[in-house]
Amino acid sequence: MKKACLLLEDGFYQEGLSLGAEGETIGEVVFNTSLTGYQEILTDPSYKGQIVCMTYPLIGNYGINSQDVESSQLQVEGFIIKEKSKIYSNWQAEKSLEEYLKENNIVGIEGVDTRAITKHLRVKGSMRGIISTTDFNLESLKEKLEKSPSIVGRDLVKEVFNNQVYEWEQPLISEFNPLISPQGKAVVIDCGVKFSILRNLKVYFEKVIVTPPVISLEKILEFQPQGILFSNGPGDPEPVSYAIDLAKKIIANLEKEKLNLGVMGICLGHQILGLALGAKTYKLKFGHHGGNHPVKDLRTGKIDITSQNHNFCVDSQSLPEDIEITHINLYDNTPEGMAHKKLPLFSVQFHPEAGPGPFDARYIFGRFKEICLREKT
Amino acid sequence: MPKREDIEKILIIGSGPIIISQACEFDYSGTQACKALKSEGYKVVLLNSNPATIMTDPEFADSTYIEPITVEVLEKIIQQEKPQACLPTLGGQTALNVAFSASKKGIFKKYNVELIGANEEAIAKAEDRKLFKQAMESAGIGLPKSKVVYSLEEAKSALKDIGLPCVIRPAFTLGGTGGGIAFNEEEFEQIVELGLKLSLIKEVLIEEAVLGWKEYELEVMRDKNDNVVIICSIENFDPMGIHTGDSITVAPAQTLTDQEYQMMRTLAIKAIRAIGVETGGSNIQFAVNPSDGRIVIIEMNPRVSRSSALASKATGFPIAKIAAKLAVGYSLEEIPNDITKETPASFEPTIDYCVVKVPRWAFEKFPGAEPVLTTSMKSVGEVMAIGRTFKEALQKALRGLEIGKNGLESVIDERRYKVQPQEVEAEVKAKLLTPNPQRIFYIGDAFRLGFSVEEVYQLTKIDRWFLSNIKEIIDFESSLKLYRGLDPRTLRKAKELGFSDIQIARILNINPAKISSFREKHSISPVYKFVDTCAGEFQAYTPYYYSTYEYEEEVFSNRKKKVIILGGGPNRIGQGIEFDYCCVHASFALGEEGLLSIMVNCNPETVSTDYDTSDRLYFEPITLEDVLNIIRKENPLGVILQFGGQTPLNLALGLEKAGVKILGTQASSIDLAEDREKFKKLLHRLGLKQAPSGIAYSFYEAKKIAKELGFPVMVRPSYVLGGRAMEIVYEEEVLERFIREAILASPNQPILIDKFLEDAIEVDVDMIGDGVNFVIGGILEHIEEAGVHSGDSAMCLPPYSLPDSMIEKIRKATYSLAKELKIVGLMNIQYAVKNEELFVLEVNPRASRTIPFVSKSIGVPLAKLATKVMLGRSLRELGFTEEIIPAYTCVKESVFPFNRFTGIDIILGPEMKSTGEVMGIDESFAKAYLKSQISAGQFLPKKGRVFISVKNSDKRAIVFIAKGLRDLGFEILATEGTGKVLKSNGIPCLVLPKVSEGRPNILDYIKDKKVNLIINTPSGRIPRQDEIKIRSEAVKHEIPCITTISGAQASLSAIEVFRREDFQVKPIQIYHKEVSK
In contact, B31 and B24? CB cutoff 8 Å = no
Contact B535 A303 (CB under 8 A): no
Contact by Cβ (8 Å): B367, B376 = no
pLDDT > 70? residue B516: yes
In a domain, A92, yes or no: yes
User: Mind listing the pLDDT tens digit for each residue in B550-588?
Assistant: 999 999 888 899 999 999 999 999 999 999 999 999 999
For B232-281, how does the pLDDT look when each residue is reduced to its tens digit (9 = 90+)?
999 999 999 899 999 999 999 999 999 999 999 999 999 999 999 999 99
Beta strands in B411-539 (DSSP E): 527-530
Q: Which residues of chain B make contact with A14, given a CB cutoff of 8 A?
A: 551
| CA separation for the pair B665, B824 (Å, rounded) | 5
Q: Is the peptide bond before B165 cis (omega within 30 degrees of 0)?
A: yes
Largest CA distance in chain B: 85
Compute the 3-state secondary structure of chain A and give helix, strand, coil in percent, each to the nearest 5: 25, 30, 45
Query: How far apart, in Å, are the Cα atoms of A73 and each of A103, A188, A355, A358?
Result: 11, 19, 15, 23
Chain B residues closer than 8 Å to A40 by CB: 258
pLDDT at residue B747, as a whole number: 66
pLDDT at A377: 46
Q: Which chain B residues have a beta carbon less than 8 Å from that of A89?
A: 255, 463-465, 468
pLDDT of residue B699: 83
Residue B108: Cβ within 10 Å count: 24
Q: Distances from the Cα of B917 to the Cαs of A136, A263, B377, B402, B579, in angstroms?
A: 63, 66, 19, 23, 13
How big is chain A, counted in residues?
A: 377
Q: In which region does residue B25 sit, left (phi positive, over 0), alpha (psi from -120 to 50) or beta (all else)?
A: alpha
d(CA B654, CA A95): 50
Q: What is the pLDDT of residue B751?
A: 86
Q: What is the pLDDT of residues A4-33, one digit of tens each?
A: 999 999 999 999 999 999 999 999 999 999
Instruction: Report CB contact under 8 Å: A82, B389.
Output: yes
Q: Does A294 lie in the same domain as A162?
A: yes
Provide the shortest C-alpha distance from residue A232 to chain B (in Å).
20
Report residue B199's pLDDT band, with 50, 70 and 90 as the boundaries. Answer: confident
Give the distance from residue A97's alpha carbon to the nearest chain B alpha carbon, in angstroms. Answer: 13
- Residues of A in Cβ contact (< 8 Å) with B495: none
Q: Say if residues A232 and A191 touch (Cβ distance below 8 Å).
A: yes
Residue of A30, A43, A119 to mutate for B, most B C-beta atoms under 10 A: A119
Q: A360: nearest CA in chain B?
A: B266
State mean pLDDT over B738-761.
81
Domain containing residue A236: 157-376
- Contact between A36 and B453 using a beta-carbon 8 Å cutoff: no
Q: Which residues of A232-245 are buried (b: 16+ CB within 10 A; e: fewer)?
A: bbbbbbbbbebbbb
Percent of chain B topping pLDDT 70: 98
Residue of A nearest to B256 (CA): A62
Instruction: Return all residues near B452 (Cβ < 8 A) that are at least 6 apart.
Output: none
Domain total in chain A:
2
A118 and A196 share one domain: no
Dihedral sign, Cα of residue B873, residue B875, residue B877, residue B880? positive
Beta pairing, strands B63-65 & B596-601: unpaired
Inter-chain touch A31–B536, beta carbons under 8 Å:
yes
- In DSSP notation, B812-870 reads HHHHHHHHHHT-EEEEEEEEEEETTEEEEEEEESS--TTHHHHHHHHT--HHHHHHHHH
What's the maximum distance between 2 C-alpha atoms anywhere in chain A? 66
- Contact present, B528 and B601 (Cβ < 8 Å): no
Facing residue for B257 by CB, picked from A36, A87, A303: A36
Domain boundary among A147, A168, A186: A147
Q: Show Cβ contacts of residue B207 under 8 Å, excluding neighbours closer than 6 positions.
A: B144, B145, B146, B162, B166, B167, B168, B169
Using DSSP's 3-state secondary structure scheme, residue B1026 falls into: helix
| pLDDT for res B741 | 76
Pair A208, A337 in one domain: yes
Taking all residues of chain A, what is their mean pLDDT, rounded to a whole number? 95
Q: Which of A112, A147, A182 is at the close of a domain?
A: A147
Give domain status of residue A60, yes or no.
yes
Same domain, A257 and A350: yes
For residue A86, give how far its alpha carbon lies from the nearest alpha carbon of chain B (Å).
Answer: 8
Give the whole-angstrom CA distance, residue A322 versus residue B1058.
Answer: 77
Per-residue pLDDT, B1019 = 73
Q: What is the pTM of this model?
A: 0.95
Residue A131, domain member (yes or no): yes
Distances (CA, A) of B372 to B241, B632, B901, B1061: 11, 42, 11, 46
Burial of B193 (0-12, 13-18, 19+ CB in 10 A): middle
Q: For B376-402, what is the mean pLDDT? A: 97
CA-based nearest distance B779→chain A, Å: 54
Whether the pLDDT of residue B725 is over 90: the answer is: no
Interface test with A, best of B465, B527, B538 (most A CBs within 10 A): B465
Residues A284 and A367 in one domain: yes
Option in B292, B293, B352 nearest A56 (CB): B352
**Does the residue A140 lie in any domain?**
yes
pLDDT score, position A140:
97
Distance CA B491, CA B696 (A): 44
Q: For B670-697, how does the pLDDT look when each residue is reduced to its tens digit (9 = 90+)? A: 888 888 889 999 999 999 999 998 888 8
Whether A83 sits inside 8 A of B388 (CB atoms) is yes
Residue contact B346–A294, C-beta within 8 A:
yes
Residue from the list A36, A89, A354 with its beta carbon closest to the beta carbon of B463: A89
Residue A52 lies in a domain: yes
Set of chain B residues whose Cβ sits within 8 Å of the Cβ of A88: 465
Closest to B641 (Cα-Cα) out of B939, B887, B846: B846
Identify the band that residue B996 occupies on the pLDDT scale cut at 50, 70 and 90. Answer: confident
Cβ–Cβ under 8 Å, residues B954 and B1045:
yes
A141 assigned to some structural domain: yes
Q: What does the pLDDT read at residue B263?
A: 96
Q: Which member of B252, B255, B534 has the closest CB to residue A35? A: B252
Residue B536 to residue A82, Cβ atoms within 8 A: no
| Facing residue for A37 by CB, picked from B258, B332, B536 | B258
Q: How far is residue A329's CA from residue A327's CA, in Å, rounded to a whole number?
A: 7
> Do A222 and A330 fall within a single domain?
yes
Q: Is residue A203 domain-shared with residue A125, that is, in the same domain?
A: no
Burial of residue A66, with CB atoms counted within 10 A of its CB: 0-12 exposed, 13-18 middle, 19 or more buried? exposed
The verdict on residue A230 lying in a domain is yes
Residues from chain B contacting residue A69 (CB–CB below 8 Å): none
Report chain B residues whose CB lies below 8 A from the CB of A174.
Answer: 263
Shared domain for A260 and A134, answered yes or no, is no
Question: B390 in contact with A at a CB cutoff of 8 Å?
Answer: yes
Q: Is the pLDDT of residue A188 over 90?
A: yes
pLDDT digits (tens, 9 = 90+) for B1008-1031: 889 999 999 987 656 677 888 899
Write the ipTM: 0.97
Check which CATH number belongs to the domain holding A104 and give it.
3.50.30.20
Q: Which residue on chain A is closest to B226 by alpha carbon?
A: A302
- Are A339 and A212 members of one domain? yes
Is there a contact between A7 and A29 (Cβ–Cβ < 8 Å)? no
Do A138 and A161 lie in a common domain?
no
pLDDT band at A341 (very low <50, low <70, confident <90, very high): very high
Q: Which of A147, A180, A205 is the last residue of a domain?
A: A147
> Residue B737 pLDDT more than 70?
yes
Q: Is the pLDDT of residue B778 over 70?
A: yes
Helix (H/G/I), strand (E/B), else coil: A178: coil
Give the three-class secondary structure for A208: strand
Where are the strands (E) in B673-773, listed by range? Answer: 689-690, 693-696, 713-717, 727-729, 751-755, 761-770
Asked if residues B767 and B826 have their Cβ atoms less than 8 Å apart, the reply is yes
Residue of A nearest to B462 (CA): A89
Say yes or no for a CB contact (<8 Å) between A118 and B536.
Answer: yes
Neighboring chain B residues of A175 at a CB cutoff of 8 Å? 140
Residues A140 and A179 reside in one and the same domain = no
Q: How many Å apart are CA B183 and CA B215, to the nearest integer?
A: 20
Decide: A47 and A309 in contact? Cβ < 8 Å. Answer: yes
Q: Please give, rounded to a whole number of angstroms, the shortest distance from the CA of B603 to a CA of chain A.
A: 24
CA A20 to chain centre: 23
Q: What is the pLDDT of residue B1021?
A: 59
Residues A143 and A181 in one domain: no
| Pairwise CA distance, residues B742 & A97, whole Å | 54
Buried-exposed string B65-101: b where 16+ CB fall within 10 A, e elsewhere: bbbbbbbebbbbbbeebebbbbbbbbbbbbbbbbbbe
Decide if A113 and B550 are in contact by the 8 Å CB cutoff: yes
Average pLDDT, integer, range B15-33: 96
Q: How many Å apart are CA B78 and CA B88, to the nearest integer?
A: 14
What was the pLDDT predicted at B716?
Answer: 83
Chain B, 612 to 651: residues with Cβ < 8 Å from chain A are none
- CA B237/CA B457 separation, integer angstroms: 12
As annotated, the active-site residues of B are 129, 169, 202, 215, 243, 283, 285, 299, 301, 303, 716, 722-723, 762, 830, 842, 844, 849
Among B258, B334, B454, most A C-beta atoms within 10 A, so best to mutate, is B258
How high does pLDDT run on average in chain B? 93
Domain containing A342 — which CATH number?
3.40.50.880
Tell me, yes or no, if B534 comes closer than 8 A to chain A by beta carbon: yes
CA distance B833 to B7: 53
Q: Identify the burial level of A323 via C-beta atoms within 10 angstroms of its C-beta, where 0-12 means exposed, 13-18 middle and 19 or more buried.
A: buried
Q: Assess whether pLDDT exceeds 60 at residue B522.
A: yes
Task: Pick the range with the lowest mean pLDDT from A87-101, B645-659, B857-871.
Answer: B645-659
Residue A152 lies in a domain: no
Calculate how close chain A gets to B870, using CA atoms only, in Å. Answer: 39
